[in-house]
Amino acid sequence: QCLLSGSWRSDTGCRMVVSVLGEDGSFSGSYLLGPATGDSKILTSPLEGSQQDAGLVPQPIFSFTVRWRLQARTTVFLGQCYVGTNGEETLHALWLLREAAESPAEDWKATR
C-alpha cells in the first residue's frame, strides 16, 4: 500500500518530507533541493498536496505544489505511487515549474 507520509528522495538528490497526511488524502510537508541543482544554498520550501484513497486504489495518483521560498517560483508535481513485487514503494512524477514573468511578452519563457 502506498502512503506518502515519510521521506522520499529523487534521482537528483532532492528530498520530499511528508509530515502530515490527512484522512481525506491531503498532505503537507517540505521539499529540499538536492546537490544536482547547482544551487550552493540549501533551500527548503513548503509543499501541499493530495493523493487518492490508498484503500480504494493500491497504487494511487498524487499531486503536490511547492512554493519556493525567496524566489518567485512555484512547481507542481503529478504522479503515481507504485508498489514493486518486493513491497518497495516508488514515486513516478512529472513536474512543471513556473517563474514570474516581467511582462506578457516574457510569458513564453516563464514555464519549464
> What is the C-alpha separation between 98 and 54, in angstroms, rounded?
30
Q: Encode pLDDT of 82-93 as tens digits.
A: 999 998 999 999
Rounded to whole angstroms, how far apart are CA atoms 35 and 52?
A: 31
Note the pTM of the prediction, 2 decimals.
0.85
pLDDT in tens, 17-58: 998 889 898 999 999 987 655 554 567 899 999 999 878 888
**CB pairs under 8 A, 24+ apart, for 79-88?**
81/2, 81/4, 81/51, 81/54, 82/2, 83/1, 83/2, 83/58, 83/59
> Which domains are delineated in the chain?
6-106 (2.40.128.30)
